[in-house]
């Protein structure tokens, strides 16, 4: 476990990454020494950064609620020293939906900025002082804290709107491109621009001692590359179905095998996900994750039927490979059982899909033959 759950909002766990305390230490040190305010400065720093993460959480909740509105499940929001991430089960390919989800985060910050501005007017807080905050002479006071948060909030919205895919602005950019271009091509352009912005950001960070900026630049660069690869893979899988890629020769378990049997099968075959059938009928699926969990907590003579999963929906021979890939990612599985008329025919695995992808690149003709057969 690398993160700690704080609370849950609409089914979404808000979690702190284990490295999170580092940013509070950094803030205490930075504000304590830089302003020469000592302990009071350190307390100010911790308060400011904590509030800042409240803003980040609200920003991520903005994305999350928009995603849920379109039926996209949101697993959790993780807060780490370089910011927050809302982990969505998938990203809608409908450009309009991606646009709304991406813009919803910064929109939350703009609303907060408006509310804070209203509050400042109402209570006579001089936001002009926030300029002093920017130059580091804000002092240690409640209004300085207010100013700091006000500025940071706007900065957060604008920074996220940079066209640095996969940051919000980059997603907005991709969705706008995807309204006119093919999705894979739109992603390629957005990812290239994203990597360009990341390189500039990284260089700027390096020469100005912006450690966090360099981290964020690396994060953007690798994120753009990973997402581009995923979209390409999916694009080239379109049109293929399970029957062209699945493995028919797999070990199947009976519900009355015990865990020791499963370990033996596993060592013998190298297989780590097992369909479970009773007679001819498919009844469940024992995933690697579930098996490992069971081996740590249950006795060796425990029946497969006591630990197998019954909630994994099997695929059929005609299921789209693209859909299989999406489900494997969303449900964090390595394989799915292939079932026709209640009978399990085999498994479709990530390996199978990778092989199909490779073959579709080097010998597309060999696959279209299978397709028409
Ligand atoms: Zn965002």
Domains defined for the chain, CATH in brackets? 1-161 (no CATH), 164-223 (no CATH), 242-372 (3.10.580.10)
Position 66 scores a pLDDT of 96
What is the DSSP code string of 15-77? EEETTTHHHHHHHHHHHHHHTS-HHHHHHHHHHHHHHHHHHHHHHHHHHHHHHHHTT--EEEE
Question: How many angstroms separate the alpha carbon of residue 29 from the centre of ligand 1?
Answer: 27
Question: How many angstroms separate the alpha carbon of residue 154 from the centre of ligand 1?
Answer: 13
Q: Model-level pTM?
A: 0.75
In the predicted model, is pLDDT for residue 369 greater than 50?
A: no
Question: How many angstroms separate the alpha carbon of residue 63 from the centre of ligand 1?
Answer: 7
Q: What is the mean pLDDT of residues 1-21?
A: 89
Question: How many angstroms separate the alpha carbon of residue 167 from the centre of ligand 1?
Answer: 7
| Alpha helices, DSSP H, located in 208-258 | 211-237
Question: How many angstroms separate the alpha carbon of residue 115 from the centre of ligand 1?
Answer: 19
Position 323 scores a pLDDT of 87
d(CA 122, CA 116): 10
- Determine the 3-state secondary structure of 255 from DSSP: coil
Q: What is the mean pLDDT of residues 335-341?
A: 96
Question: How many angstroms separate the alpha carbon of residue 175 from the centre of ligand 1?
Answer: 15
Counting Cα atoms < 13 Å in the Cβ hemisphere of 341 gives 1
Question: How many angstroms separate the alpha carbon of residue 83 from the centre of ligand 1?
Answer: 9
Question: How many angstroms separate the alpha carbon of residue 58 from the centre of ligand 1?
Answer: 10
Question: How many angstroms separate the alpha carbon of residue 102 from the centre of ligand 1?
Answer: 6
Question: How many angstroms separate the alpha carbon of residue 159 from the centre of ligand 1?
Answer: 9
Closest CA to 299 of 262, 252, 272: 262
Share of the chain above pLDDT 90, in %: 60
Torsion sign over Cα 242, 243, 247, 252: positive
Asked whether the beta carbons of 335 and 274 are under 8 A apart, the reply is no
pLDDT tens per residue, range 288-300: 999 999 999 999 9
In the predicted model, is pLDDT for residue 258 greater than 50?
A: yes
Question: How many angstroms separate the alpha carbon of residue 87 from the centre of ligand 1?
Answer: 11
Q: Which pairing describes strands 12-17 and 74-80: parallel, antiparallel, or unpaired?
A: parallel
Question: How many angstroms separate the alpha carbon of residue 110 from the centre of ligand 1?
Answer: 12
């Amino acid at each position: 476990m690398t993160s700690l759950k704080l609370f849950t909002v609409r089914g979404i766990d808000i979690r702190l990454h284990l490295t999170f305390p580092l940013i509070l230490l950094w803030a205490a040190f930075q504000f304590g020494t830089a302003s020469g305010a000592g302990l009071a400065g350190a307390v100010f720093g911790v308060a400011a950064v904590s509030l800042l993460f409240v803003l980040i959480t609200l920003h991520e909740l903005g994305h999350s609620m928009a995603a849920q509105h379109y039926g996209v499940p949101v697993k959790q929001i993780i807060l780490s020293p370089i910011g927050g991430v809302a982990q969505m089960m998938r990203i809608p390919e409908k450009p309009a939906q991606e646009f709304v989800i991406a813009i919803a985060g910064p929109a939350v910050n703009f609303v907060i900025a408006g509310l804070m501005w209203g509050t400042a007017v109402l209570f006579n807080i001089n936001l002009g002082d926030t300029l002093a905050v920017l130059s580091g002479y804000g002092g240690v006071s409640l209004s300085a804290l207010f100013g700091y948060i006000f500025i940071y909030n706007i900065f957060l919205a604008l920074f996220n709107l940079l066209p640095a895919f996969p940051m919000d602005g980059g997603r907005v950019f991709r969705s706008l491109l995807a309204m006119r271009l093919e999705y894979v091509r739109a992603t390629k352009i957005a990812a290239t621009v994203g990597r360009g912005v990341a390189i500039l950001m990284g260089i700027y960070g390096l020469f100005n001692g912006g450690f966090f900026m360099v981290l964020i630049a690396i994060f953007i660069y690798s994120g753009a590359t990973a997402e581009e690869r995923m979209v390409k893979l999916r694009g080239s899988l379109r049109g293929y179905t399970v029957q062209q890629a699945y493995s028919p020769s797999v070990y199947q378990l009976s519900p009355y095998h015990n865990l020791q049997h499963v370990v033996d099968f596993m060592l013998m075959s190298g297989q780590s996900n097992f369909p479970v059938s009773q007679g001819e009928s498919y009844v469940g699926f024992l995933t690697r994750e579930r098996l490992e969990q069971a081996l740590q907590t249950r006795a060796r003579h425990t029946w497969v039927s006591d630990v197998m999963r019954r909630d994994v929906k099997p695929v059929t021979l005609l299921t789209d490979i693209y859909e299989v890939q999406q489900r494997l990612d969303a449900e964090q599985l390595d394989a799915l059982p292939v079932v026709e008329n209640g009978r399990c025919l085999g498994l479709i695995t990530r390996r199978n899909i990778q092989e199909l992808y490779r073959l579709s690149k080097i010998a597309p003709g060999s696959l279209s033959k299978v397709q028409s057969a």
